[in-house]
């Protein structure tokens, strides 16, 4: 193994990391978040691949992984869950960042810390993978997708319909991930 390789042996000769940004999205808002994160990380000079979960997506060819799924009924989408469980050992041995897209973001006053408990099983996933960070971003709330009573409850908690994605917050997070990846690349390069 040369000084520019990591344990997966995937680092390129230019010192750029191969980064996978994987996502699971039903209606497209999580895809949008993943695209934005991939673009920001890509500007930092890394070789970023954006991939939708499914078809046996495998992380072994990448140096680092960012993964996010939409939350529905307190669960990640099945293809997201399946991706994480199938790659759990490989994810545990790489730098990984996780995010969820749900009704409220984790910075929402009072409710924020509660949504960090979603999806069901996130604590176990965090224990197994030890991600560098886990964030929950607010997504898109379409009135037609929500039954009347749920909408009432949502309004009562201070939620509003529409696209609640906070691009500044997402960009900031992606910037932090990009910075950590640059440090990681330098660490691998200098052994």
Ligand X SMILES: Cc1cc2nc3c(=O)[nH]c(=O)nc-3n(C[C@H](O)[C@H](O)[C@H](O)COP(=O)(O)O)c2cc1C
Q: What are the residues binding ligand X (CB under 6 A)? A: 25-30, 70-74, 101-103, 115, 118, 139-141, 145-146
4 vs 72, which CB is nearer to ligand X? 72
b/e map of 74-99 (b: 16 or more CB within 10 Å)?
Answer: ebbbebbbbbbeebeebbeebbbbbb
Indicate the residue whose CB is closest to ligand X.
139
Helical residues (DSSP H) of the chain, grouped into ranges: 29-43, 78-86, 88-92, 112-115, 122-129, 148-156, 167-189
* Distance of closest approach, residue 162 Cβ to ligand X, in angstroms: 11
* Distance of closest approach, residue 127 Cβ to ligand X, in angstroms: 21
CA distance between the termini of the chain: 11
40 vs 164, which CB is nearer to ligand X? 164
* Distance of closest approach, residue 152 Cβ to ligand X, in angstroms: 15
11 vs 125, which CB is nearer to ligand X? 125
* Distance of closest approach, residue 144 Cβ to ligand X, in angstroms: 9
72 vs 93, which CB is nearer to ligand X? 72
Q: At what angle do helices 167-189 and 29-43 cross, to 10 degrees?
A: 40
């Amino acid at each position: 193994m040369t000084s520019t390789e990591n344990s997966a042996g995937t680092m390129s000769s230019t010192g750029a990391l191969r980064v996978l940004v994987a996502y699971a999205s039903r209606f497209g808002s999580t895809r949008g978040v993943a695209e934005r994160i991939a673009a920001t990380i890509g500007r930092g000079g890394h070789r970023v691949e954006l991939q939708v979960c499914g078809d046996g997506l495998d992380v072994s060819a990448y140096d680092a992984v960012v993964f996010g799924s939409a939350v529905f009924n307190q669960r990640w989408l099945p293809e997201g869950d399946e991706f994480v469980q199938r790659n759990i050992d490989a994810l545990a041995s790489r730098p990984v960042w996780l995010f969820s897209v749900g009704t409220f973001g984790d910075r929402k006053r009072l409710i924020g810390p509660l949504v960090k408990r979603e999806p069901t099983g996130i604590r176990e996933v965090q224990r197994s993978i030890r991600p560098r960070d886990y964030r929950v971003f607010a997504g898109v709330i379409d009135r037609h997708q929500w039954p009347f009573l749920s909408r009432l409850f949502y309004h009562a908690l201070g939620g509003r319909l529409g696209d609640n994605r906070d691009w500044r917050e997402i960009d900031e997070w992606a910037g932090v991930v990009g910075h950590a990846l640059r440090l990681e690349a330098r660490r691998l390069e200098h052994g």
